[in-house]
Amino acid sequence: MNKNINQKIAFSVFKLLSFAVVAILFVILGFIVVRGIGVVNWEFLTAMPEDGMTKGGIMPAIVGTACLVLGSMIFAFPIGVLSGIYINEYLPENGLKKFLRMMTNNLAGVPSIVFGLFGMALFVNYLKFGDSILAGSLTLGLLALPVVIRLTEEALKSVDDNLRLASYAMGTTKLQTIRRVVLPVAFPNILTGLILSVGRVSGETAPILFTVATYFLPRLPQSIFDQVMALPYHLYVLATSGTQIEASKPMAYGTAFVLVAIVLFINVLASLLRRFLQKKVKMN
């Protein structure tokens, strides 16, 4: 009898703690949404910041983040997918494969601030790009690279081996098999990976601190060598180092809301897309 009571107590504790984790998420999201939603309107999204960032909007930060996300994905997505294909489809289980996986894991474990330092040392100073969208995008791209590689590998791994064998049996080459059989099947998951890494990149602050982000720049970028404002850095500035922290608080809530909304939207989009495309692939 005793052991059943023990079990009941233990399982209830586990259940309680799990619900606590869920509650934490809802508290954080709820807090940001409740405080932020009133601030956000069309003007907030489309106007320049004004009056020491206590009024106006956050358009340059939104545009800046969009530029950085786009730039980093142009760099990370092709390279990540190509190396995922190479590691999973071409390499046999040997030392090189192990080594490349280990390096990818190591890169994934590098703290984001170290990416920032590295980006500053390599792109800003050594290659003389200066504080620019180019330097920031490349830094963020390197940060996203291990994520893209891993998700691509996983997507490729989940492709049934019989499909590959069937294709070979028809006399196709390896490349043809990958292009015509493996990639189309793996595509939904690869795409999901891309979307999730966009979410990751759009919220990163530390890597852009010293490579591109600027405190206040109320105009839109003209070239890839311009500095930009970015949403996460803007939130950091508003929350900690603005000249009038109290007066700019509504702006901070609004910015946090927009940032969280983007991340939520991306996550939902990713799972919806995965479901939709998976159905489509099955039907073909």
Partner 1 sequence: MRKFRDIYEKIIVGVLFSSSTITSLTVILIIVFLFKEGIGLFNHAVVDDNHVIAISSQNPVKDLTADKLAKIFNQDYATWQELGGTKDSVKILTTSTLMSIYTEEQLGANGENIPSKVNEYVKAHPGAILFMSKSFLPADFAGREIAVDKISLKKFLTGTHWYPTSSPIPQFGIWAIIMGTLMVTLGAILFAIPLGMATAIYLSEIASMRLRNIVKPIVELLAGIPSVVYGFFGLIVVVPLIQKGFNLDVGETILAGSIILGIMALPTIITVAEDALRTTPRALKEASLALGASEWQTLRKVVIPYAKSGISTAIILGIGRAIGETMAVLMVTGNSSNIPTSFLQPARTIPATIAAELGEAPYGGLHFKALFALAVILFLFTIIINLTVEVIKNKARKQSA
Chain positions 13 to 32 lying near partner 1, rule: CB under 8 A, are 13-18, 20-22, 24-25, 28-29, 31-32
Both structure tokens of 168: 């070979």
Is 244 a binding residue for partner 1 by CB under 8 A? The answer is no
Both structure tokens of 151: 């998700």
Total residues binding partner 1 (CB under 8 A): 84
Helix (H, G, I), strand (E, B) or coil at 49: strand
Q: Which helix (H) or strand (E) holds 133?
A: helix 133-157
Among positions 127-146, residues that touch partner 1 (CB under 8 A) are: 142, 145-146
What DSSP character marks residue 211? T
Is residue 49 within 8 Å of 266, Cβ to Cβ? no
| CB closer to partner 1, 170 vs 283 | 170
Is residue 132 within 8 Å of 214, Cβ to Cβ? no
What DSSP character marks residue 217? -
Whose structure tokens read 């609004």?
254
| CB closer to partner 1, 133 vs 145 | 145
**Binding track over 147-186 against partner 1, x by CB under 8 A:** --x-----------------------xxx-----------
Among positions 69-88, residues that touch partner 1 (CB under 8 A) are: 78-80, 82-83, 85-87
Is residue 255 within 8 Å of 238, Cβ to Cβ? yes
Pick the binder of partner 1 from 107, 191, 217, 220 (CB under 8 A): 107
In the bound complex, what is the minimum distance in angstroms from residue 251's beta carbon to partner 1?
Answer: 12
